[in-house]
Amino acid sequence: MATATHTDDRTYDLISVAYHALQAGETHEQYIRDAEARDDQEVADFFREIQQQHNRTADRAKQLMHSRLADG
């Protein structure tokens, strides 16, 4: 248990993964804009791919949290 938060490790870890994946996706949005401002579509597309991976990771963490919390 994460004693400081009174949250079990599994829940805390899933929340943390979701948070960090969403944060990274948000950060990549700026990287995409930067690449597009330099007319570098290849790099912008690369950052979009990574952003999509982070979004999928966050979605999966949210699904797992939901199912675990629903189970009690």
Q: What is the pTM of this model?
A: 0.81
First to last CA, the chain: 16
The pLDDT value recorded for residue 6 is 66
Distance CA 63, CA 21 (A): 14
The pLDDT value recorded for residue 54 is 97
Residue 7 has pLDDT above 80, yes or no: no
Average pLDDT over residues 39-61: 97
Q: State residue 20 phi and psi, 5-degree precision.
A: -70, -35
Residues ≥6 apart with Cβ < 8 Å to 20: none
